[in-house]
Structure 1
Amino acid sequence: MRAIILAAGLGLRLQQPVGEQFPKCLLRFDGVTLLERHLQMLDAAGVDDVVLALGFQPELVEAELKRIGWPHKVEIRLNPRFDLGSVLTVHTVADAMTSGGDVLLMDADVLYDERILSALVADEHTNRLLIDRDFEAGDEPVKLCLKDGVPVELRKQLAVGLEYDTIGESVGFFRLREETAKRFAEIVAGYVDSGRANMPHEEAVRDLLLERSHVFDTADVTGAPWIEIDFPNDVKRATDEILPVLQPLVGAAR
């Protein structure tokens, strides 16, 4: 199983002061960067094949990797047009997406409990989505809608009249089987070739789901704390609300 961590973006919505900007995966909570937390939990879950997609200030992330001293090799892929959408970043790691085995596609800017990752990696050879039914309605969350257990929508804005029986927020992590990852890479390449490289990669995941050519199961992680960090208030919520209720990190990679 291979983990691909998307950490290329500028993080403009975080509103860091000009001249003091840095990749969001280097945000520290209780003295530990998001990147180090990712690696520690992947190590504890038995995932030691990691590809890191970088773009903005990659040298800072590479320096953090050296400081962490994770005992496994981390492959680096660079997206020089990191100012565009995450579809292009995923396209940058297409070789890792299609080189065999299950793939975990993970946003780097998420502070999460180990129960989130445990739900993602459980069982063998499956396509999996994560859903949190306890979410704040609004324009920002990416909604995952199910009907009879089948995904019928994955978007921030839902179409009027959409039929579903379950709705929640999609955690920014996806698990793809080998053949599904290859098809996903083809869809992403189509976005880039047709001039839609500025799109979020969730749109390509949505296309994959709605093709119905690959079966996905959905793990319900409602109650397990997590937060995607996009805005300044998210940093405060992560510190005040999420961090205190996370299960202690185990198997620290030093």
Structure 2
Amino acid sequence: MRAIILAAGMGLRLVQPEGQQKPKCLLRFGDASLLERHLQLLKTAGVDEMVFVLGFKHEQVEAELASIDWKPATEVVVNSEFSLGSVLSVHTAAEALTRGGDVLLMDADVLYDERILEPLVANAHAHVNRLLIDRDFEAGDEPVKLCIDNGVPVELRKQVAAGLKFDTIGESVGFFRFDEHAAKRLAEIVANYVATGRANLPHEEAVRDLLQERSHVFDIADVTGAPWIEIDFQNDVTRAADEVLPQLNQLAGALR
């Protein structure tokens, strides 16, 4: 199984001192950066093939990877037009997306518990497509909502259309698992986005298109209760340090 980790963005909504901006995956919580936490959690989960899609100040991330001296070495691809949307980052990683086997597609700016990964990597040889949902989420325009009707995902967007029929709604964690057929189809959809001038869009739009084609069956894993947070704004950094990290430390201590 291969993990493709999207870490190209500039993080413009996160206030950092002028001249000291750095990729969000280098933010440190406790004694490790988000980058190193990804590596450790993925390795523990049995995923040792990792591809980082970098862009903004990619040299800093590559230096961090070199300092960690991770084995086996991680693969790096660079999206030179990182100021555009994450669709372009997924397109930049098209070769890794389509080289075969199941693929995890993950945002880099997430602090999370290992229980978030467990359902994604379960049955590693089963070749499945899987989405994660957290039913305990804050309403508003920011969370990407995942709507499910009778076990079938029917929407993946920040704005849910009025009148849409669904029986379950929650926040998408931003981590996806695709089997090789769905991964190849996603690569085709993303390539079409780029070819038609839609490279500025978030990659969730392309995933949404894949879901709505209904040509691939998707499982839904409910991770409600497992601590995690996506780092978009300064208050997310505060919540990550003050609320989520202590939960992760407590859980880690309980497992020792």
Q: TM-score, normalised by structure 1?
A: 0.97
TM-fit CA distance, 1:163: 0.6
Alignment partner of 1:168 is 2:170: yes
Q: Which runs of 4+ in 1 moved over 6 A?
A: none
Tell me what 1:191 maps to: 193
- 1:100-127 per-residue CA deviation (whole Å, 9 max, x = no partner) reads 1000000000000000011111122110
- 1:171-211 per-residue CA deviation (whole Å, 9 max, x = no partner) reads 01000000100000000000000000000000000000000
Q: Which amino acid aligns with 2:16?
A: Q
Residue range with higher mean Cα deviation, 125-134 or 70-79: 70-79
- 1:8-29 per-residue CA deviation (whole Å, 9 max, x = no partner) reads 0000000112201000000000
Q: Which amino acid aligns with 2:100?
A: G
Q: Which amino acid aligns with 1:217?
A: D
**Gap runs ≥5 in structure 2:** none
Q: Which amino acid aligns with 2:205?
A: E
1:32-71 correspondence runs (5 A): 32-71=32-71
Match of 1:13, SS?
coil
TM-fit CA distance, 1:70: 1.4
Tell me what 1:243 maps to: 245
TM-fit CA distance, 1:132: 0.1
Q: Distance in 2 between matches of 1:237 and 1:206?
A: 29
Q: Which amino acid aligns with 2:179?
A: R
Q: Distance in 2 between matches of 1:143 and 1:163?
A: 14
Alignment partner of 1:221 is 2:223: yes
- 1:140-171 per-residue CA deviation (whole Å, 9 max, x = no partner) reads 00000000000000000010101100000000
Q: Which amino acid aligns with 1:106?
A: M
1:106-145 correspondence runs (5 A): 106-123=106-123, 124-145=126-147
- 1:43-80 per-residue CA deviation (whole Å, 9 max, x = no partner) reads 10111101000000111001111121211121110000
Tell me what 1:100 maps to: 100
Tell me what 2:156 maps to: 154
Alignment partner of 1:90 is 2:94: no
Q: Distance in 1 between matches of 2:239 and 2:105?
A: 24
Q: Distance in 2 between matches of 1:73 and 1:209?
A: 33
TM-fit CA distance, 1:88: 0.3
Q: Which amino acid aligns with 1:167?
A: I
**In the comparison of the two structures, how many residue pairs are matched?**
249
**Gap runs ≥5 in structure 1:** 250-254
Q: Which amino acid aligns with 2:216?
A: H
1:63-82 correspondence runs (5 A): 63-82=63-82
Q: Distance in 2 between matches of 1:17 and 1:202?
A: 30
Q: Which amino acid aligns with 1:118?
A: E
Q: Distance in 1 between matches of 2:181 and 2:94?
A: 13
Q: Distance in 1 between matches of 2:120 and 2:82?
A: 27
Q: Which amino acid aligns with 1:47?
A: V
Alignment partner of 1:15 is 2:11: no
Q: Distance in 1 between matches of 2:200 and 2:17?
A: 24
Q: Distance in 2 between matches of 1:69 and 1:116?
A: 25
Match of 1:153, SS?
strand
Q: Percent identity?
A: 73
